[in-house]
C-alpha cells in the first residue's frame, strides 16, 4: 500500500529503477563497499543508506547467483537450518553466491511448508518413545587437546579479519577448512565415532561422552528410526561453527 511509491522527507522508497541501480553500481565500483552513510550522496541517489546497502548486497553484488536452487543447495539449506535455525546469514555463508534474503525467501515460500507437511505425516504415522542413548558430544573439544595437536594437517587458524564478517567475504576466505577437515576426516579415520560401543578411554582427549535424552521414532510397523541421526547428522550436531570461531570451542554465534 504505497510502499513502492512513498517519498517521505525526500527519501525515495520502493522498487529500484535501472538508473538507480547503475548509479549505485558505479559508486561502489569507484569507492568500494562500506561507508554506506556516504553512498547516497556519492551516488547521487535519494535513497537512505540502508536501502542502498540492501540493494547492493541482495541484488547488485557481482557474486550473486540467480536462478533456481539446485538439489544440492536445497539439501544443504535443510541440513544447515536443522543445525542453525533461522540464522540465514550463516547459512548463506555456506552457499556461495546465495544471499541470506534469497535463502530466507526460499525457505519461507518452499521448504517450511513442505517440511511441515512431511513432519505432520511422520507425526500421523508414528509413535514417539523416549530412549536413553549415548552419543559423542564434543562441545569441550579443546584446541589444545593433545589428540588434536597430534593430527596431521592441523593448521592453526589465523585471527579473522575484523571487517570481513559479511557472508560474501567469508565465502572468499573459507577459513574453516583446517579444523573442519580434521573433524570430518580424521575423526572418522580414528574410529572414535562409530556405531559400535567404545569405552571413554578410546575417545580423543577432550571429547566428552554423556547420556543424552533423544527421541527415537518407532513406526507403527515396528521399525525404529533415529530421526535422521546418521553420520551426516552427527557431524552437523557437532558444534563445528563454534569450534571454528573460538579458541576453546564453546560459543555459538547469536
Partner DNA sequence: AAACAGTACAACCGCATATAT
Partner DNA sequence: CATATATGCGGTTGTACTGTT
Q: Pick the closer one to DNA by CB: 35 or 121.
A: 35
3-state secondary structure 82-98: HHHCCCHHHHHHCCCCC
Rounded CA gap, 137 and 39, in Å? 47
Q: Tell me which stretch binds DNA (CB under 7 A): 107-115, 173-181, 206-214, 242-250.
A: 107-115
Of 22, 108, 125, 194, which one interacts with DNA (CB under 7 A)? Answer: 108
Rounded CA gap, 20 and 209, in Å? 57
Helix (H) or strand (E) holding 213: strand 209-219
Of 36, 78, 122, 217, which one interacts with DNA (CB under 7 A)? Answer: 36
Q: Tell me which stretch binds DNA (CB under 7 A): 125-133, 134-142, 157-165, 227-235.
A: 157-165
Q: Does 121 bind DNA (CB under 7 A)?
A: no
Q: Does 3 bind DNA (CB under 7 A)?
A: yes
| Helix, strand or coil, per DSSP, at residue 110 | helix
Can you tell me which residue has the cell 587437546? 145
Rounded CA gap, 101 and 107, in Å? 10
CB of 183 to DNA, least distance (A): 23
Contact call for residues 110 and 116 (beta carbons, < 8 A): no
Q: Does 105 bind DNA (CB under 7 A)?
A: yes
Binding footprint of DNA on the chain (CB under 7 A)? 1-4, 12-16, 34-37, 47, 49-51, 53-55, 58-59, 86-90, 100-102, 104-106, 108-110, 162-163, 165-167, 254
Amino acid at each position: 500500500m504505497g510502499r513502492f511509491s512513498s517519498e517521505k522527507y525526500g527519501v525515495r522508497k520502493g522498487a529500484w529503477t535501472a538508473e538507480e541501480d547503475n548509479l549505485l553500481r558505479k559508486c561502489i565500483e569507484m569507492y568500494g563497499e562500506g561507508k554506506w552513510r556516504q553512498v547516497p550522496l556519492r551516488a547521487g541517489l535519494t535513497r537512505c543508506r540502508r536501502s542502498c546497502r540492501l540493494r547492493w548486497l541482495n541484488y547488485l553484488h557481482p557474486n550473486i547467483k540467480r536462478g533456481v536452487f539446485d538439489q544440492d543447495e536445497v539439501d544443504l539449506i535443510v541440513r544447515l537450518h536443522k543445525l542453525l535455525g533461522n540464522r540465514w546469514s550463516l547459512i548463506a555463508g555456506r552457499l556461495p553466491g546465495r544471499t541470506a534474503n534469497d535463502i530466507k525467501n526460499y525457505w519461507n515460500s518452499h521448504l517450511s511448508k513442505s517440511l511441515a507437511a512431511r513432519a505432520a505425516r511422520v507425526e500421523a504415522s508414528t509413535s514417539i518413545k523416549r530412549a536413553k542413548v549415548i552419543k559423542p558430544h564434543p562441545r569441550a573439544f579443546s584446541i589444545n587437546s593433545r589428540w588434536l595437536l597430534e593430527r596431521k594437517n592441523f593448521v592453526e587458524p589465523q585471527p579473522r579479519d575484523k571487517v570481513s564478517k559479511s557472508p560474501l567475504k567469508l565465502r572468499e576466505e573459507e577459513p574453516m577448512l583446517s579444523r573442519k577437515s580434521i573433524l570430518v576426516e580424521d575423526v572418522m579415520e580414528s574410529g572414535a565415532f562409530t556405531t559400535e560401543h567404545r569405552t571413554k578411554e578410546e575417545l580423543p582427549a577432550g571429547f566428552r561422552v554423556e547420556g543424552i535424552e533423544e527421541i527415537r521414532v518407532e513406526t507403527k510397523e515396528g521399525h525404529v528410526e533415529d530421526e535422521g541421526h546418521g553420520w551426516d547428522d552427527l557431524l552437523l550436531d557437532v558444534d563445528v561453527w563454534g569450534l571454528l570461531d573460538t579458541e576453546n570451542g564453546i560459543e555459538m554465534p547469536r
